[in-house]
Amino acid sequence: MSLLLFSIIVIVSSKMVFSLVKENHLNAFYVEKSIILETTRLFLSKNNNFTKLQMKNEKLYFDNNLLLENISKFEISEINNIKSIKICIENNEICQIWKI
């Protein structure tokens, strides 16, 4: 009887640990990509020269230097000298709108 109870506890515990590890990995992925997007936003707000931006093959270049990869959407619009940039990466999993 105790062996059956122990086996059930081990199985349930291992499923919980696996679920937590999987969720932690996914959260780390989103945090890493969000940090990359935030550094890109800071870089663009410091340089403020959007004529040097170019997108080719899901990659964003600034003055022919790779700035960001895996871009699925990139749109720039301007209203009253404020640039609005809508950007999505990783097949539209992470999207942000920047006002620069």
Which residue ranges in the chain fall short of pLDDT 70?
A: none
3-state secondary structure 9-30: HHHHHHHHHHHHHHHHHHHHHH
* DSSP characters over 35-64: HHHHHHHHHHHHH--GGGEEEETTEEEETT
Query: What does the alpha-carbon distance between residue 11 and residue 37 come to, in Å, rounded to a whole number?
Result: 39
Query: What does the alpha-carbon distance between residue 94 and residue 69 come to, in Å, rounded to a whole number?
Result: 13
Task: Determine the distance from the C-alpha atom of residue 96 to the mean position of all C-alpha atoms in its chain, rounded to a whole number.
Answer: 9
CB–CB of 37/86 below 8 Å? no
Regarding pTM above 0.85, the answer is: no
Encoded tokens for 19: 């679920």
pLDDT at 32: 92
